[in-house]
């Protein structure tokens, strides 16, 4: 019996963005799922805390993300319980190891012409190097480890702002403000983005995912770029 593979995503989430700051790593995503161009679900989290040591988020097909998260949780449990060391040591799956595992999984799936339609962000604390880790894996199995990452439209709309404002000595508060500004830009410019977002951070003390909350965007539509006449034609063809 022949099988038909998914040829394009159906129910999707948009951008996930992240950055490294002084003492940790922070990522952000909105909670909107879209069915094509229709807003389907306004309160669906896409950021996950794995074993209190790793943060995972993804854009793209939500059902594929659910399967990825199930695989990751099973791997983390196996790493914790199946080792002889686990009797004596609190053994946890490192973020970089998970990142490499997902690289292999995504590459295998695309090689079988049955890809997971996701771009995944992995963040955590590297205990061996004693520093934060941040990386991405796309649906082809291509990896990137950087201080700034963005998936989906965020790579075009949020990344320029992040690159302009980021410093390696950002405080946690500055990191949060920068990510919120970037998420506002995405809300205004990406028709499949929402002002309801989640933030998640990971430090040497562990990882936390916030409850969803609304960005303050009450004055955004009064920005000059929103009300200026198109082509400066004194109102002809303007908004």
Contact 14, 57 (CB under 8 A): no
Distance from CA of residue 20 to its chain's centroid?
A: 13
Question: What is the C-alpha to C-alpha distance for residues 220 and 223, in angstroms, rounded to an integer?
Answer: 6
Active-site residue, 203 included: no
Identify whether the C-beta of residue 166 lies closer than 8 Å to the C-beta of residue 177. no
β-pairing, 11-13 with 54-61? antiparallel
Query: 64-73, long-range: CB within 8 Å, 24+ apart, which pairs?
Result: 64/9, 64/116, 64/117, 64/118, 65/13, 65/116, 65/118, 67/116, 68/102, 68/105, 68/116, 68/118, 68/120, 71/105, 72/48, 72/98, 72/101, 72/102
Residue whose entry in the numeric block shows the structure tokens 């490499």: 100
Q: Which residues contact 90 (CB under 8 A, 6 or more apart)?
A: none
Tell me the catalytic residues: 6
């Amino acid at each position: 019996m022949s099988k038909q593979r998914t040829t394009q995503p159906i129910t999707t989430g948009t951008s996930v963005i992240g950055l490294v700051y002084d003492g940790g790593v922070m990522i952000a995503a909105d909670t909107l799922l879209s069915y094509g161009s229709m807003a389907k679900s306004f309160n669906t989290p896409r950021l996950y805390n794995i074993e209190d040591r790793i943060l995972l988020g993804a854009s793209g097909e939500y059902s594929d993300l659910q399967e990825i998260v199930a695989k990751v949780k099973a791997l983390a449990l196996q790493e914790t319980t199946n080792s002889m060391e686990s009797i004596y040591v609190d053994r946890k799956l490192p973020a970089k190891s998970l990142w490499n595992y997902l690289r292999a999984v995504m590459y295998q799936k695309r090689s079988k012409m049955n890809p997971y339609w996701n771009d995944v962000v992995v963040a955590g604390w590297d205990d061996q190097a004693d520093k934060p880790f941040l990386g991405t894996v796309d649906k082809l199995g291509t990896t990137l480890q950087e201080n700034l990452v963005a998936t989906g439209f965020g790579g075009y709309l949020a990344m320029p702002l992040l690159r302009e404002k980021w410093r390696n000595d950002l405080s946690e508060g500055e990191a949060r403000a920068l990510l919120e500004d970037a998420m506002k830009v995405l809300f205004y410019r990406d028709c499949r983005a929402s002002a309801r977002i989640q933030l998640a951070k990971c430090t040497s003390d562990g990882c936390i995912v916030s409850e969803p909350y609304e960005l303050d965007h009450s004055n955004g539509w009064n920005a000059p770029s929103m009300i200026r006449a198109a082509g400066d034609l004194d109102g002809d063809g303007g908004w």
